[in-house]
Amino acid sequence: MKHVTDADFDTRVLAADRPVLVEFTAGWCGPCRQMAPVLAAVAEEEKDRLDVVVIDADTSPETVIRYGVLSMPTLLLFRSGEPVKSMVGARPKRRLLQELEDVLEPRLTPAR
């Protein structure tokens, strides 16, 4: 999974040409560690529709403050430089994918 910081957040997330799911995390956060394999699986499964990145709240406080993140983990989905969905707390992969489905572009189905 890709890591971003205060220094490269704008270029790697806000200027991205596709949706980006950002997990605000911290090393001391148990639920954040639980989310790591879930996010890795989502990143692989949705690689055609979505980028997934992680930002450490302790080392990148400016971005945390800018988006009003108060709890870890917080997941924000950005599209066209704007946050379009916010989710707080750990969740299983199935639930996360269901919550993302309404804000992601529909899957392309092969022509028959």
pLDDT of residue 102: 87
Structural domains in the chain plus CATH codes:
2-91 (3.40.30.10)
Q: Which of 22, 29, 55, 104 is catalytic?
A: 29
- pLDDT value of position 58: 96
Whether residue 112 is predicted with pLDDT greater than 70 in this model: the reply is no
Determine the average pLDDT of the residues in 18-23. 97
pLDDT of residue 109: 55
Question: Is 65 assigned a catalytic role?
Answer: no
Distance, CA of 55 to CA of 14 (rounded, Å): 14
Q: Tell me which of 32, 42, 57, 64 is the catalytic residue.
A: 32
**Mean of per-residue pLDDT scores for the chain:** 93
Q: Given pLDDT bands bounded at 50, 70 and 90, which one contains residue 1?
A: confident
Is 29 among the catalytic positions?
yes
